Structures are given as structure tokens and as C-alpha cells.
Amino acid sequence: MEQALMKVNRNRLQETIETSAQIGAIPGNGLCRLALSDEDKEIRDLFRSWLKDSGLQVRVDDFGNIYGRREGKKKDAPPILVGSHLDTQPMGGRFDGILGVLGALEVVRTLNDLEIETELPIEIVSFTNEEGARFEPPMLGSGGITGIFDKEFIYSQKDKSGKSFVDELKRIGYLGDESNRIRKVHSYLEFHVEQGPVLEQANSAIGVVEAIQGMTWLEVKLTGEGDHAGPTPMNMRKDALVAAAKMIVAIQHAAREIDEMTTTTVGRMALAPNVVNCIPGEVSFSVDVRHPEDIKRRLAVELVREKISTIAAAEGVEIEIRDLWEIETTPFAPQILKHITEGAKAYGYSSRRIVSGAGHDAKYLSDIAPTAMIFVPSVNGKSHSPEELTSWEDIEQGANVLLYVVEALANER
């Protein structure tokens, strides 16, 4: 069969995604499947059964990453690695990450249906804790196998309730063996929803992702003076929350002062004592800064630091700024981008080059192998929300391109 004519089974892929969407379902068609939770265990167990039913050799490594291997003619050759993650945000969508794992499964199922034997092995992977919603920083599973984070660091990370990564990995039965880590990779491919509005606005079916933009996470802690809300005059207060409110506005303005590509976000906040009739004496919040150009991102970070430090002094509160996480802009492999572009053209799908505004496991995999990503449109650009939606037609088209590229790479074309 001609390569360009191979197509995935859309009904089967849709059914698989809809079955996944029943595990951890929340109102509004969303999902809550935090890493190493009971819901995560349930989808992991189901995913492993799907891998085995497809004739794949299944293994789990010491970070809980799950692999399914389809042998090639060259059994000792490094495999084509394809996948993403199955964990979600607390109020996440049905497709973020999940599409990359289940799309890869559909590719293998299709190759099985067509009885196509490839030269190189193909491995599907589901990485642990990509989202970072429960254990920070994100992408611990992929960061572990690529040497970004060491095992001691990953195992010691704790959630808000004090439960450690390693204890939860043991609890759900997914503490595998270090010997099961993938070590040599021919190339890595990740299929994903865009999580932004660019493809939809451009009426493009396929996003050829040429890079992941850099990002910086900060943690800001403010210490003022907690007092009674009634007796304390306004001119004598050192209200940490008022200072934080002014800082949040300034952080938003900082992005605009750099350029239209800069984004700054305060996504998490905690305050104490957090009661109606007390002046907040302590506030902490996160800052997320992103830009496709590392120089401008660093300028934005310095501008944020300067603005919030000035406000802290003016409001009479102490400030502590801690670096949480940073990744630089990562370009992807030109030869794989060429395959993606050719695949879209072969099927008659429109495509365009795009830079990912979000972080993905592909960021770390690019350190050990040629890497690229395929995007499909997100309706209204929504993601990390129950409103996240991608049409089944767009999913089918993206999966067809994924099939095209995986087959081409696995047959060394």
C-alpha cells in the first residue's frame, strides 16, 4: 500500500479517547487525573492492557514511565519513540497529552492491521508527571530518563499534602526497574493539541512545530504584618496582599513592555491567615514568564524582578524571590519537520510552521535524539480547562500525519 494512502481507524481512535475520558471525569467534559493518583493508576492499568492487546512488549521504568515496544527487522537498532503523557491538570481537558499517547497507539494498531513490518523498532511511551500539577517541576518522567533531574531529586518531590513522589509511585504499583529506562532513541515524535489559537485562526490543519519557547518559573514570598482588620488604621498597615495585588498588575504590564510575544502569568497564590477579619501578613505566588527568544525572556524576568522589588519597598513588606524552574528555547530536528510537512501535503492537509507556547516532554527528549512535534487545532485556543476541544476530523488528520512520519522514520526513509 502506498505510504500516502495509509490511514488510521478514526472510529477506533475516537472510541479509545472517549474511554480514557471516563477515568477522572469532571463536569463540563473535563478530566482530573493528577500524577500518581488513583485515577492515574486506573488509566495506566487500562493503557497497559491496550498495549498488550496490540502485541507490544510492555515495561515500566523506575520513574513510572510506561513503554510498549513493537519490534522491527533490526531488533538491536534504537527505536522510534512516540508518545506524551496521560496525567492532567486538576481541571484539565480530554486531549492534552492523552492524544499523543493514544494517537501513537492507533498508529501501531494501524501498522498491525496492514501487516507492515518496519526496519526499526517502534516504542510508545507515556511519561510520568508531565503536567507538574501535583509534583513540581513538570516533566519529571522525561527529565529523569534524559538526566535533567537525578533520581534522588525526583523521588523526594512532595505534593501539597506532603506525600512524596516515590511513595505514591509505590502505592499505585508503578515503581519499575531502572533497567527498563529507554537509553538509545533513533528519534522522538509527539502528537499534541496546540493549546493556543494560531492554527484555528490561520485555518491550518497541521502545525509543524519547529521549536518550544523558553520559560521561567519564579516563586515570590511577601511578608508584611498580620493584624486585626478593625482596629488597625489604613496608614499603619503592611498588608502583604495589597502589595501582591499591585505586583500582579505590574507583572502583566512588564510583558507588554517587552513585546507582543512575551507572556507573564500569576497562576497560583496562597495567603495567611486567610480569614475575613485579619490583614494578610504573608502571601506567596508563582510567576510564569515565556518568550520564543531566550534573551527577551531573560529581559522580561529581570523587569519583573525589578518592578515587584520596587513595590515591596514602597509597601513596606519583605520580599523573597526564588527560582523554581527554567528551560531555554528548543529548536526541533529539520529532517523530521520535513517529514511532517511532506506528510501533510501527501494527504492534502494545510500546514504551517509554529512555535509551541507550552512545555512538553519533547523539550527534554531533544537532548538525546532528533525530535519534533505535530500540532492539531484547539477550538478557541482553549486548554488546561474542561472546555478544551479538538474536532475528531482534525484529530484524524493529525493521526494520519503521525502515521506517515512514524512509518517513514521506522523504515529509514
Examine the pLDDT at 406 and tell me if it is beyond 90. Answer: yes
pLDDT of residue 52: 98
pLDDT of residue 233: 96
Mean pLDDT for 257-269 is: 97
pLDDT of residue 2: 46
Mean pLDDT for 82-106 is: 98
Summarised one tens digit per residue, pLDDT across range 293-328 is 999 999 999 999 999 999 999 999 999 999 999 999
DSSP string for 221-241: EEE---EETTTS-GGG---HH
* Rounded-to-integer distance, Cα 399 and Cα 103, Å: 6
Residue owning grid cell 488528520: 397
Examine the pLDDT at 4 and tell me if it is beyond 70. Answer: no
Calculate the alpha carbon distances from 145 to 111, 265, 380 in Å.
27, 29, 35
Q: In residues, how long is the chain? A: 413
pLDDT band at 357 (very low <50, low <70, confident <90, very high): confident
How far apart, in Å, do the first and last CA atoms of the chain sit? Answer: 16
Full 3-state SS string of 268-321: CEEEECCCCCEECCEEEEEEEEEECCHHHHHHHHHHHHHHHHHHHHHHCCEEEE
pLDDT of residue 117: 97
Examine the pLDDT at 3 and tell me if it is beyond 60. Answer: no
Examine the pLDDT at 1 and tell me if it is beyond 60. Answer: no
Examine the pLDDT at 143 and tell me if it is beyond 80. Answer: yes
pLDDT of residue 413: 80
pLDDT band at 167 (very low <50, low <70, confident <90, very high): very high
Summarised one tens digit per residue, pLDDT across range 242-259 is 999 999 999 999 999 999
Give the domains, in start order, of the chain with CATH numbers: 3-213+329-410 (3.40.630.10), 214-327 (3.30.70.360)
* Rounded-to-integer distance, Cα 111 and Cα 218, Å: 45
pLDDT of residue 32: 98
pTM for this prediction: 0.87
- Which residue did the predictor score with more confidence, 3 or 54? 54
pLDDT of residue 205: 98
Summarised one tens digit per residue, pLDDT across range 6-23 is 999 999 999 999 999 999
